[in-house]
Structure 1
Amino acid sequence: MKTLKFLPLLLLFALASCDAIKVNSDYDKKVDFAQYKTFAFYKNGIDKVEISDLDKKRILRSVDEALTAKGFTKSETPDLLVNIFTKEREQVDVNHFNAGWGYGWGYGWNPYFWGGNTSVSRYTEGTLYIDLIDAKKKELIWQGDGEGVLTKDTNKKDEKIKEFVTKILEQYPPQKK
């Protein structure tokens, strides 16, 4: 009976974990990141990103806000070029719950739960990459990525994209140990 009390809590945790954004970053360990003070968007790279122009604007606006909050300024002669690219994939989760009596998990006979319960959920998982390129050398110096569930709700897109960008750019500049 105790298991049934914790089942709703377990389901809530599972749904909340689907909404989390996982972030990673990598960087050139020989670079002094303190030298970078200005940025601009790398138009040639951003034009190739295959997402809607509205989503591009949302991402670029969020990147602009996050970098400005870190003390960077936009410039015609930048220290850094900012590039983005995205990947998306359809995910399908199949869950089966059987509360039968008998030997082992989900094995046996129960007149109340005959056959168990199977649920299928589909969602889109996306990855946003943010590249920071040394403008003079034209070399990638830092890359961050965030992976999480995307929303189709236009009222929540701004919020979700801002969350992606903020979490990714929290990792910049890298903390050297």
Structure 2
Amino acid sequence: MKTRNIYLIGILLPTLLILGSCNSIKNLKTAVEYDKQADFNTYESYKFDKELSYSDTHDNYSSQNQRAFENAIHDQLKKKGLEETETPNLHINFFVVDTQESQSITHTSYRNQRYGGMAHVDTYIKEYELGTLVIDLVDVSANKLVWRGLANGIITGKQDDMEKTINEAVKAILSKYPPKS
């Protein structure tokens, strides 16, 4: 019985960890800044700005993904009680910045005395894509930015996973709207 439990732990635990780690964004960090004078209770409607600053700097950010960003933002704002109209209180603008980053990683291992006891050093370069999504809410009547949220993380998914990545990032950002005073 004990052997069976150890076997199950040895098989199931790594499997669960692997499945749990299939997120499409690693190390997601969010930040928010907002106008402390703005009354966020008065904002009831929004519209996407006609001149979106959408960045198409990488294949991950196709027009299909732009629609996914808009849909995710729409869904989250709708959950917050805002509705999309032609005469909104808020204009929504978002943009994406992605950069290719690299990190040098060095591992040192020591060989057994039988092989001379020498150190062996391996160095390799890890390359990854760092993505940043910025969502701006602009007060239409004052023509002033009143809220900005951003999410930053390492993008690990492929194009097929991009909608999940987008939804994760948008949900994380807009979970902080409206700001708690």
2:43·2:90 contact (CA, 8 Å) conserved in 1? yes
Residue of structure 1 in register with 2:39 after alignment: 32
| Matched-pair identity in % | 28
Name which of 123, 133, 136 aligns with 1:128: 133
Residue of structure 2 in register with 1:171 after alignment: 176
How many Å apart are 1:151 and its aligned residue?
Answer: 4.1
Is 1:22 matched up with 2:29? yes
Mapped to 2, the partners of 1:49 and 1:135 lie a distance apart of: 23
Mapped to 2, the partners of 1:154 and 1:49 lie a distance apart of: 16
1:151·1:157 contact (CA, 8 Å) conserved in 2? no
Is 1:150 matched up with 2:155? yes
1:26–1:112 Cα change, 3 Å = same
Is 1:118 matched up with 2:90? no
1:91–1:169 Cα change, 3 Å = same
How many Å apart are 1:150 and its aligned residue?
Answer: 2.2
Paired residues for 1:1-177 under 5 Å: 19-46=26-53, 49-50=55-56, 51-100=61-110, 111=116, 114-151=119-156, 153-176=158-181
Mapped to 2, the partners of 1:151 and 1:114 lie a distance apart of: 33
How many Å apart are 1:165 and its aligned residue?
Answer: 0.5
TM-score by length of 1: 0.78
Structure with the higher fraction of residues in strand conformation:
2
Which aligned runs of 4 or more in structure 1 are off by greater than 4 angstroms?
110-114
Residue of structure 2 in register with 1:7 after alignment: none
Please, what is the CA RMSD of the aligned residues? 2.6
List gaps (5 residues or longer) in structure 1: 1-11, 102-109
